Amino acid sequence: MEPRAAMPSPTTLGQLRAAGWESLPVKEEVRRNAVARIASGQPLFDKVLGYEDTVMPQLENALLAGHDVIFLGERGQAKTRIIRSLVGLLDEWMPVVAGSEINDDPYAPVSRHARDLVAELGDETPITWVHREDRFGEKLATPDTSIADLIGEVDPIRVAEGRYLSDELTLHYGLVPRTNRGIFAINELPDLAERIQVGLLNVLEERDVQIRGYKVRLPLDVLLVASANPEDYTNRGRIITPLKDRFGSQICTHYPLDVETELAIVHQEARPLEAPGVTVRVPSYLAEVVATLSHLARQSPHINQRSGVSVRLTVANYETLVANAARRSLRHRETDIVPRVSDLDALAASTSGKVEIETLEEGREGQVVENLLKAAVLTVFKEQVPLERVREVVAAFDEGLVAHVGEDIPSAQVAELVSSIPALRDPVASLTDDESPAALASAVEFVLEGLHLSKRLNKDAAGPRAAYRGRS
């Protein structure tokens, strides 16, 4: 989080006027700051990758047009991150009438408390400053969300203190009024009951709030942003037509369009494994296998595509790969940690819970994941290791060589295969210029597994160990 600038100095309405502060509706404020970002060539947000030519131009158009926005997309497509990042387009500090529950504009107060205070004190009305981080409200829509949650309710304690039920000061404001002059987000909008959607529409469009039979006019100033999964329209609920009409722009998000973008997100989001006395390096080809696994899953007929294959799958698999490599290395008293193909088996645990297998494949979840993993290794192997560089390796194994690898074999022992099988030197060199035992062992296992999956070597696997031999 960036350090906050010092809070502005005016503390009364008169001082605020003297300082020349200008009041802007929130959508104009966001537009002004978005214009500045775009004109300077800066991206609207940091840490949102892969949308530069698709989602971001549409979002820029929506903000410049002053639209409320709904994002449609499957899980794990950065919808919530984008929505929360909109806060960065607000001014850092905003003045409000002191004691206001709904961020009253000192120049145009709307709550009874603020109106009375300004009428009584005039230019001596005290003001406070609200940071932009506190001008964001968010609600995960659930079927039990109530009007009281979003709009407000009569506070019985205030009634018991002697106020009339019709007195506006008896209200306990809900989330939307408390986000006045800010950004309010509703996640999973179709899960909101239709009658609650009607109430929300009334607040945002008609400005009249009805609570317990009486009306309070609240001209709220809110930028409304929502998210939804396209499948939610039919599976879990729907967005009522008048509310859909309220959104000026509907923007569809998507998963990374290429493996390179997926990897960039992984490197940004994955939590590094740090421990005293150890170093961790992930070979680029194994990181690519992890990303390719997700891309293949998004194309697989065995995976329920309606529920999506989140980028969180790729991040979790990357972290699991590193964790298993660390566990294996530490048991061998190795401090240089480099994942190997034998560590990929651990990805079953982090993959199974993040994909939905099609009904016809139930009971075969493990097999589906295993096949996807093999396909990912083979895909990357064909891209990384040209066939001409492995012909001599295949010939050497056809002459009777057998190579043993696996989780229970130390890296140094696997790396010795480069010396005992000289034909391995060339394909290994094409994968890494790191001569450490851990890096060589990783490259050796990848070459041998790639040759097996491309049907050039046989593999006998038993527990944590595998043996590769020729097919002749």
pLDDT exceeds cutoff 70 at 155? no
Strand 208-211 with 152-154, pairing = unpaired
pLDDT at 213: 60
Asked whether 379 and 409 are in contact (CB, 8 A), the reply is no
What the chain holds in terms of domains, given with CATH numbers, is 13-252 (3.40.50.300), 256-384 (1.10.8), 385-472 (no CATH)
pLDDT, tens digit, 9 for 90 and up, residues 4-13: 888 888 999 9
Provide the edge-to-edge strand list for the sheet that holds 402-406: 402-406, 465-470, 457-462
Q: Which of 215-229, 299-313, 423-437 has the highest mean pLDDT?
A: 423-437
pLDDT at 209: 63
pLDDT exceeds cutoff 90 at 206? no
Strand 69-72 with 222-228, pairing = parallel
Q: Mean pLDDT lowest for which of 181-195, 351-365, 369-383?
A: 351-365
Average pLDDT over residues 115-134: 95
Q: Which residue has the higher pLDDT, 155 or 214?
A: 155
pLDDT at 356: 85
pLDDT at 383: 94
Average pLDDT over residues 376-391: 93
SS (H, E, C) the chain: CCCCCCCCCCCEHHHHHHCCCCCCCHHHHHHHHHHHHHHCCCCCCCCCCCCCCCHHHHHHHHHHHCCCEEEECCCCCCHHHHHHHHHHHCCCEEEEECCCCCCCECCECCCHHHHHHHHHHHHHCEEEEEEHHHCEEEEECCCCCCHHHHCEEECHHHHHCCCCCCCHHHEEECHHHHCCCEEEEEECHHHCCHHHHHHHHHHHHHCEEEECCEEEECCCCEEEEEEECCCHHHHCCCCCHHHHHHCCEEEECCCCCCHHHHHHHHHHHCCCCCCCCCEECCCHHHHHHHHHHHHHHCCCCCECCCCCCCHHHHHHHHHHHHHHHHHHHHHCCCCEECCCHHHHHHHHHHHHCCCCECHHHCCCHHHHHHHHHHHHHHHHHHHHCCHHHCHHHHHHHHCCCEEEEECCCCHHHHHCHHHHCHHHHHHHHHHCCCCCHHHHHHHHHHHHHHHHHCCCEEEEEECCEEEEEECC
Arithmetic mean of pLDDT over the chain? 89
Average pLDDT over residues 348-365: 79
Element spanning 97, H or E? strand 93-97
> Pick from 388, 468, 462, 383: which is nearest to 423 by CA?
388
Average pLDDT over residues 410-416: 94
Where do runs of H (alpha helix) occur along 76-172? 79-85, 112-121, 147-150, 156-160
What is the b/e burial string over 262-278, where b = at least 16 CB atoms within 10 angstroms of the residue's CB? bbebbeebbeeeeeeee
Whole-number Å distance between alpha carbons of 290 and 325: 14
Indicate the pLDDT class of residue 171, thresholds 50, 70 and 90: confident
pLDDT, tens digit, 9 for 90 and up, residues 231-290: 655 455 688 888 888 888 999 999 999 999 999 999 999 999 988 989 999 999 999 999
Backbone angles phi, psi at 280, to 5 degrees: -125, 130
Q: How many residues does the chain have?
A: 472
Can you read off the two tokens belonging to residue 75?
């899980």
Average pLDDT over residues 23-32: 96
Indicate the pLDDT class of residue 354, thresholds 50, 70 and 90: confident
Average pLDDT over residues 189-198: 86
Indicate the pLDDT class of residue 164, thresholds 50, 70 and 90: low
pLDDT at 201: 78
Can you read off the two tokens belonging to residue 25?
């509706």
> Pick from 443, 312, 442, 296: which is nearest to 373 by CA?
296
Provide the β-strand partners of residue 130: 94
Using DSSP, how many helices (H) and how many strands (E) does the chain show? 21, 16
pLDDT exceeds cutoff 90 at 75? no
Indicate the pLDDT class of residue 343, thresholds 50, 70 and 90: very high
Whole-number Å distance between alpha carbons of 258 and 379: 14
Average pLDDT over residues 61-82: 94
Share of the chain above pLDDT 70, in %: 90
Q: Which residue has the higher pLDDT, 96 or 304?
A: 96
> Pick from 80, 70, 130: which is nearest to 105 by CA?
130
